[in-house]
Chain A
Amino acid sequence: MIAYIVRRILYAIPVLLGVNLITFLLFFVVNSPDDVARMHLGAKRVTAESIEKWKAEHGYDLPLLYNSDKQGISSVTQTIFFDKSVRLFVFDFGSSDAGRNIGADIGQRMWPSLAIALPQFLIGLLVYVSFAMLLVFFRATYLDVSGVVLCVVLMSISALFYIIGGQYLFSKQMHLFPISGYEPGIQAWRFVVLPVVIGLISGLGASGRIYRTFFLEEIGKDYVRTARSKGVPEVTLLFRHVLRNAMIPILTGVVVVIPTLFMGSLIMESFFGIPGLGSYTIDAIHNQDFAIVRSMVFLGSALYILGLLLTDISYTLVDPRIRLS
Chain B
Amino acid sequence: MIKPLLLGTDALVFLLVALVVLFAVYARKREHLAAPWRDVVRSRIAVASLVVLAAYTLVGLMDSVHFRKALPMQAGQQEVQYGGDVLSVLDILLGPVRTQVETTYSAPFATHLYAKEYMLDEQGKEVRGYPRLKYGGAQLSDPEVDKWPDIRRRVLLSVLETLGVMLLIYVLFGALLARRWRKPVPVALRDIARGRCAVPWRTALGTLGAVVLLIALIANMSAAWHMLGTDKVGQDVLYQSIKSIRTGLVIGTLTTLIMLPFAVLLGMMAGYFRGWVDDVIQYLYTTLNSIPGVLLIAAAVLMMQVYMANHPEMFETMAERADMRLLFLCMILGITSWTGLCRLLRGETLKLRELDYVQAGSAFGVSGFRIMMRHLLPNLMHLVMITVVLDFSGLVLAEAVLSYVGVGVDPTTMSWGNMINRARLEMAREPIVWWSLLSAFVFMFTLVLSANLFSDVVRDAFDPRLRTER
Contacts and interface: CB of A to CB of B under 8 A. Distances in A.
B298 interface: yes
B287 interface: yes
A213 B405 contact: no
A294 B309 contact: no
B295 A19 contact: no
Contacts of B287: 15, 18-19, 22
Contact of B405 (A18, A148, A267, A304): A267
A301 B291 contact: yes
B314 interface: no
Contacts of A172: 427
A26 B427 contact: no
Given A38-B310, A161-B441, A164-B423, A300 B295 contact: yes
A153 B292 contact: no
A27 B299 contact: yes
Contact of A159 (B401, B427, B441): B401
Interface string A25-41: 01100110001101100
B444 A293 contact: no
Interface residues of A, number: 58
A165 to B, nearest CB: 9
Interface string A160-180: 110010011000100000000
Given A19-B290, A160-B420, A304-B290, A220 B427 contact: no
B266 to A, nearest CB: 15
A168 B305 CA distance: 33
Interface in A125-170: 139-140, 148, 152-153, 155-161, 164, 167-168
Given A19-B287, A156-B393, A213-B468, A285 B298 contact: yes
Contacts of B441: 157-158, 161
Contacts of A301: 290-292
A254 to B, nearest CB: 17
A74 B456 CA distance: 59
Given A39-B306, A39-B310, A286-B406, A164 B437 contact: yes
Contact of A26 (B303, B401, B456): B303
B273 to A, nearest CB: 20
Interface string A283-315: 001101010011011001100110010000000
B459 to A, nearest CB: 11
A139 B295 contact: no
A148 B460 CA distance: 15
Given A31-B303, A290-B302, A297 B400 contact: no
Given A14-B283, A35-B307, A148 B290 contact: no
Nearest to B393: A156
A27 B452 contact: no
Contacts of A297: 291-292, 295-296, 299
A271 B401 CA distance: 12
Interface string A7-27: 000000011101100110011
B283 A18 contact: yes
A285 B300 contact: no
B408 to A, nearest CB: 11
Interface residues of B, number: 50
A282 interface: yes
B14 interface: no
Contact of A158 (B288, B303, B444): B444
A164 B427 contact: yes
Contact of A155 (B295, B298, B452): B452
A304 B295 contact: no
B395 to A, nearest CB: 12
Given A281-B295, A297-B295, A160 B283 contact: no
A266 interface: yes
A159 B420 CA distance: 11
A97 to B, nearest CB: 12
Interface in B78-129: none
Contacts of B291: 19, 22, 297, 300-301, 304
Interface centre among B286, B288, B400 (most CB of A within 10 A): B286
Contacts of A282: 405-406
A162 B185 CA distance: 50
Contacts of A263: 292
Given A38-B310, A285-B406, A158 B292 contact: no
Interface in A66-110: none
A267 B423 CA distance: 15
Contact of B400 (A14, A158, A168): A158
Interface string A262-281: 01001100110000000001
Given A297-B292, A301-B292, 20 more contacts: A22-B288, A26-B303, A39-B306, A39-B310, A152-B449, A152-B456, A155-B452, A157-B445, A160-B417, A172-B427, A216-B468, A216-B470, A282-B406, A285-B298, A285-B405, A290-B299, A293-B298, A293-B299, A293-B302, A304-B291
Interface of B: 283-284, 286-292, 294-296, 298-300, 302-303, 305-307, 309-310, 393, 397, 400-401, 404-407, 416-417, 420, 423-424, 427, 432, 437, 441, 444-445, 448-449, 452-453, 456, 466, 468-470
11 contacts: A26-B299, A31-B306, A35-B307, A39-B310, A152-B449, A156-B452, A159-B401, A164-B420, A164-B423, A281-B295, A296-B292
Across the A-B interface, the 4 shortest Cβ-Cβ residue pairs: A18-B287, A300-B292, A156-B449, A156-B448
